[in-house]
Amino acid sequence: MDTPKRRRSATRARLLEGALEVFAERGFHGASVEDICDRAGFTRGAFYSNFSSKDELALALFQATTDRLLEQIGALLPDLANQPGTLLDAVLGLLDDAAPDQRQWHLISTEFTLHALRDPDAAEALVRQRRLFRERLTELVEEITKTSGLRLSVPAEQFVRLVIAVHEGARSQSLLEPAEVPAGSLEHTFLPMVLASVSRS
């Protein structure tokens, strides 16, 4: 049934989808609320009844990514517990799958991070969302290492921070030089070495 609540949720989803495209094309600062409304086929009234600002919409995009990640972790956990060797593949796979389009997501998330480095309110919101994302990945790592009888010589969260740093840094190189740095190549070459170094059974 086409209830008002369902319509509202569909409007929101289309605005998010439109914003993802427009941000990737024109940048966070270059994209206006009007551009996003045009792309999604809505009026500015529809926009402002869903989001108070462009910042709030960008944060909703991050939230949607985090939510998708949480769902995927929930679905994966039961299987992973029986295949501890796949810890890194699981974590890296989640980072890749969290965003359907890596180029688009890199542009948007990097740009919003730069915005946050100049705007304390955006920084607070972004740090909160990144923390949530990191905490879930940390739980996943802890769960798998526990199940497989491994202990890490560093806090699991530090390891997750490293994985995120390598992933984000490598993605930038892959997008600039796709032939020289195939997506995921640095992560898959070097992170298993780190995991072996910090693991004790």
Residue 107 binds a second copy, judged by CB under 8 A? yes
Stretch that binds a second copy, among 14-22, 77-85, 89-97, 158-166 (CB under 8 A): 158-166
The tokens of 187 are what?
Answer: 């992560």
> CA 53 to CA 71: how far, in whole Å?
27
Locate all alpha helices (DSSP H) within the chain, ordered by sequence: 4-26, 33-40, 44-48, 54-80, 87-97, 102-118, 120-147, 156-176, 185-198
Q: Which residue has the tokens 């209830």?
A: 3
First to last CA, the chain: 55
Residue 52 binds a second copy, judged by CB under 8 A? no
Binding-site member from 168, 183, 184, 188 for a second copy (CB under 8 A): 168
Residue 118 binds a second copy, judged by CB under 8 A? yes
Least distance in angstroms from the C-beta of 128 to a second copy: 11
Q: Which residue has the tokens 């705007």?
A: 119
* Interface size with a second copy, residues (CB under 8 A): 43
Applying CB under 8 A, which residues contact a second copy?
A: 25, 27, 29-30, 103, 106-107, 110-111, 113-114, 116-118, 123, 126-127, 130, 154, 158, 161-162, 164-170, 172-173, 175-177, 181, 186, 189-190, 193-194, 196-198
